[in-house]
Chains A and B, each alone.
Chain A
Amino acid sequence: MKEEIEKIKQSALSEIEKASDARQLDDVRVKYLGKKGELTTILRGMGSLTPEERPVIGSLVNVVKEELEELISKKEKEYGEQELNRKLKEETIDITLPSTKIKRGSKHPLNRIIEEVEDLFVSMGYDVVTGPELETDEYCFERLNLPKGHPARDMQDSFYITSEYLLRTQTSAVQARTMMANEEKSPIRVICPGKTYRRDDDATHSHQFSQVEGLVIDKNISLADLKGTLEIFVKKMLGENLSLRFRPSYFPFTEPSYEVDVSCFKCGGKGCNLCKQTGWIEVLGSGIVHPNVLKMNGYDPEKYSGFAFGTGLDRLAMFKYEITDIRLLYQNDVRFLEQFDRLDR
């Protein structure tokens, strides 16, 4: 009996040795250790043994069984790993093939500028307000100290719908609306970005364009407040190292009025094509709110003073993104739009 077990063991060992993959190994397990396996059969046939032989043979079979099982598991693990490795290798893909692209949209450069301006002024406590684009002559001109027949109306050739209605030529129209809407006649701090329209179309002018207007009304507002505010605005938008120049000018709704030049950000003030060799670039119109404008819109000029400023956003966008032709902003070539698809850091 013992010899027989030894023989089975040797034969099993040799078969385990020969098994070259997990399946053959499993076959060996079934053949020797399975329900009908050779060792199992011996255990089952122990009934014919003497009571003395039984424990001896039983323990011998179990020892062999354990030994084989251990060996099989060990080999199985080895083969399992080999198998997995082979499978992993099979599953290798070409990671240089294109990704599944999630389409990324883009924000129009003008709206990027508007949002940037809004964020800056909102952080300084300004409210963003809007007004109609189809405006009345009253709000666009008359309430801003520009009565009918005023020569300064020539500065803005307008698109009229009727003698009373027109497409607004300036966001300043919202100034009068904001003052009129404020029933308590309390201090005001607003900016109003939006579209404006004038009869003009060439490489630097578009009949439709965008402006942002700022208006602050309170007690004791001075030119120094205007200058400080615009310094922050211009430096944030165009560059920290720039300097500002206030050049006297004329707008019917402000007195005194100033055009604001910024030192040329391209040449640093030495003179180049962009600044027409002057070293300065005109970026804003501004001034102290004209007492007539305050009066006409219900504010007492003896009690309140204010400043107002306005600038073209198209030019700001063109400066910022180095866009050479204003028409690009309105052509909406997808190859242009797609370039504004990232976080601007």
Chain B
Amino acid sequence: MKLSTNFVKDYVDIDVDVKTLAEDMTKVGNEYDSAGHLIEATKLVVGEVKECKMHPDSDHLHVCKVDVGNEILNIVCGAPNVRTGLKVIVALDGAELPGGTIKKGMIRGQESNGMLCSIAELGLENKFLEEKDKAGIHELPEDAKIGEDAIKYMQMDDGVIDFDLTANRGDLLSVLGMAYEIGAIYDKKVKDIDLSHKENSENINDSFKVEVDTDNCTIFLAKKVKNIKIKPSPAFIRNRLIASGIRPINNVVDISNYVMLETGQPLHFYDADTLKGKLQVRMAKENEKLTTLDGIERILSQDDIVISNGEEAIGLAGVMGGLTTEITENTKNVIIESAIFNPIKIRMTSKEILRSEASTRFEKGLDPNRTYMAIERSCNMLEKYADGEVVGGIAKYDKENLQNREIEITFENINRILGMEISKQDVLEVFRKLGFTATLKNDETILVSVPRRRGDITIKEDLIEEVGRIYGVDNIKGKLPDIAPKDGSYDKVTRGIRNKMIDLGLNETLSYILVNDKEAKMFTKDDTELVRLLDPMTEERNTLRHSIIPSLLKIYEYNKARNVKNVSIFEIGKTFYKLKEEYGENNKLAVLMTGDFYLGIENKAQVNFYVIKGIVEELLEYLGYANRYSLIVDESKMPAELHPGQSAQISVNNDIVGIVGRVHPKLAKEEVYVMEIDLDKLLDKKVGKMKYKEISKYPSVKKDLALVIDKNMTSNEAQMAIKKAAGSLLTNIEVFDVYEGKGIPENKKSIAYSLTFEKSDRTLTDEEINATMDKIIEFAEKKIGAEIRK
């Protein structure tokens, strides 16, 4: 809401500068985006061109002698309409204009001691400029007094504050509402609005009917004004509209906007001769068509409220009038409509079709007293500024309650919630300043009568806020809640996982959960449905991700494009799915690694499958799943985005919790490795208690064993065989070498294991160990066709 300070000063006597007013309003909860003046320019005076000659060295410049009151200035001017005898706006030496500072100087050898201005040069927005304002300098009327402040003369010396209002304060979308608010701050009474006008002896109800056929309209008033003269509005109306951001058209249209700004009640003026003696409010028919004032044909639905002439829709109620009944240059007679429509319906229609100054006000709810006030004020102004003749009587439909709302509250209520000790006197003062009537029911209880204009105040907490707002809460002494101390809690496990991943050298990322539908399910094999946005901002982000990996892959590409080749990142975040009409989300951990991992000249390690496998194992063991996990290879269950020969499912307690593997070369040319674990699923898995296990007092014995096995047999299979044969004496088994090539037959490989044997209650004998080794060897040869490499 852009407020013209001249406008509001009609209703409240204040003498503060624009910035102070804006700051004082902010303190009571009404923030502003900007506070300044309609014309941000200085040193502009009325002048008269006394002499105007062509510039000797130019085909379009003129050299003028301009009388500015106390002196005659030599000024060079390029405007085509400059001429002797013209009254003009003169920017004197040193004048600050939006385009820069005016300085004395020479223009092509001719002295120029100022500038003759156009309206555009004063900084008015383009939409408020007329053709003549763009073509040349502004021509002031002949009666303009030479030497006078030109801005004042044009009545453009106005302050403008652009407020950013809260959604509950619909009352502040009016100059009167602002006046009450400002009055409460500075303790000033709001002046009455002038509604006076004459009415002729006719009665509108004899020739005109209003009919309301929907619950979505609670009050509908119409009055008629005859014989109006269409002409430009007086300067003060035009300038106040411009200051408020509305383009002036002609006196009649301007008055409808002016009164809306003043009272907050949107009005619609019809050309009475285009109507058929009737206005009807009803819901639109499905697909009913209506061409609005802006010339656009709108297709309506049953949820839109329309105004009809009894036959067809002629206006979109509360949003915009129709083209066929609009005020034109030739309009003689006017029907004024002032009404209240269901705010929710207007909101939906305006969201669907278009938002206007009117709909913005209807959406927030209106004061029905103002519905009457606005229609009377329109008559007053049409009489005064359009020479109209007001027809007697009012056509009306009114189901509204005009009574004030009464709320009971105690002083204790107020002080308990604010945590202050405000005196009874001060509380009553606040209500008086706000224009609320407060009556004491007894020592403690006040009955507050709230005017209908403050539709936002319905319960006692609203009154408490008013007291806090106007009295001020700056001097509240902060304290901590007086409640029993206890320990707070938080999710330690997720934090533990995050810290572990960081300890492992990974950088934590944070990516968007919205992705495009093509990548949403990549790296998954789930058969759930996509979760799509109804109305995405871009197609790149139209769906919720099912996996974090595509996000990490994007990050890898982003960094690669910036020549960052070593990327080891992780993210903990949510993924989403839809299953049988139900929506769900999972907490997941994903990792992506590529390039070098350990840096420095000694330990340069190129990331490969075993590095990321190490990350997986380190995490699982850290979480207590040592000996409870395994990697399972089942090509049919792997997502197509992974390398079929370098990927696996991660199983914990015999249930799949995630995947790990290399990104398919089709998707990434370099070697990129990823893993993802469903944390909800994983952390649900049982884990053993952390407790001390006795360390054996007896020495362990280490033996090495190298097996030559088929190339496509996994180390795990060989290891399982060894374990099975060895029984409980074998306490640890580790691979220490893998070899293929010279000395080993083709299609074979050699894997060397280091075996640890131990018994907790005694020292093992050589015989026992040798017997066990023999058993292992025999079993390996027979069961897995291994050969022992000597």
- A residues at B contact (CB < 8 Å): 97-108, 110-111, 115, 118, 121-128, 130, 132-134, 148-149, 151-152, 154-155, 159-162, 165, 167, 187, 189, 195, 197, 199, 201, 207-208, 216, 218, 220-225, 227-232, 245-250, 252, 255-258, 288, 290-291, 305, 329-335, 337-338, 341
Contact = CB atoms under 8 A, between A and B. Distances in A.
B476 A134 contact: no
B787 to A, nearest CB: 39
The interface centre, meaning the residue of A98, A132, A224 with most chain B CB atoms within 10 A of its CB, is: A224
Nearest to B535: A160
Interface residues of B, number: 93
Is chain A's interface secondary structure helix, strand, loop, or mixed overall?
A: mixed
B167 A250 contact: yes
Given A132-B585, A149-B343, A256-B464, 9 more contacts: A107-B502, A111-B498, A122-B488, A134-B584, A155-B167, A159-B535, A161-B533, A224-B477, A227-B478
A86 B602 CA distance: 27
25 contacts: A100-B598, A100-B603, A105-B501, A111-B510, A122-B489, A128-B489, A133-B585, A134-B576, A151-B167, A151-B364, A162-B534, A189-B483, A223-B420, A223-B468, A223-B473, A224-B476, A224-B479, A229-B481, A250-B169, A252-B167, A256-B464, A330-B511, A332-B569, A333-B559, A337-B507
Nearest to B532: A161
B585 A134 contact: yes
Contact of A332 (B555, B574, B598): B555
A89 to B, nearest CB: 23
Interface stretch (B24-32, B246-254, B309-317, B643-651): B24-32
B347 interface: yes
Contacts of B509: 108, 332, 337
Interface stretch (B140-148, B560-568, B666-674, B682-690): B560-568
Contact of A149 (B344, B464, B583): B344
A223 B418 contact: yes
- Nearest 7 CB-CB pairs, A to B? A224-B419, A103-B505, A248-B29, A222-B419, A228-B478, A122-B488, A256-B465
Interface string B403-431: 00000000000001111100000000000
Nearest to B416: A222
Contacts of B482: 220, 225
A152 B473 CA distance: 25
A329 B418 contact: no
Nearest to A106: B507
A115 B502 CA distance: 15
B166 A100 contact: no
A216 B481 CA distance: 9
B363 interface: yes
B491 A128 contact: yes
B600 A101 contact: yes
Nearest to B568: A103
Contacts of B576: 133-134
Contacts of A255: 459, 461-462, 464-465
Nearest to A257: B465
Contacts of B536: 159
Contacts of A227: 419, 476-479
B416 A332 contact: no
B567 A334 contact: yes
B503 interface: yes
Contacts of A218: 481, 483
Given A103-B505, A105-B507, A121 B488 contact: yes
Contact of A111 (B344, B508, B583, B601): B508
Nearest to B465: A256
A334 B560 CA distance: 10
A105 B347 contact: no
Contacts of B347: 149, 151
Nearest to B415: A222
Contacts of B597: 103
B412 to A, nearest CB: 12
Contacts of B562: 333, 335
B215 to A, nearest CB: 15
A224 B533 contact: no
Contacts of A334: 507, 559, 564, 566-567, 569
B486 interface: yes
Nearest to B599: A101
A338 B507 contact: yes
B476 A288 contact: no
B601 A98 contact: yes
Contacts of B488: 121-128, 189
A207 B531 CA distance: 17
B485 interface: yes
Given A227-B476, A332-B555, A337-B507, A208 B512 contact: yes
Nearest to B490: A128
Contacts of B720: none
Contacts of A231: 478
Contacts of A329: 510
A125 B478 contact: no
A97 B598 CA distance: 16
B539 to A, nearest CB: 14
A106 B419 CA distance: 44
Given A104-B505, A189-B483, A133 B598 contact: no
A87 B486 CA distance: 65
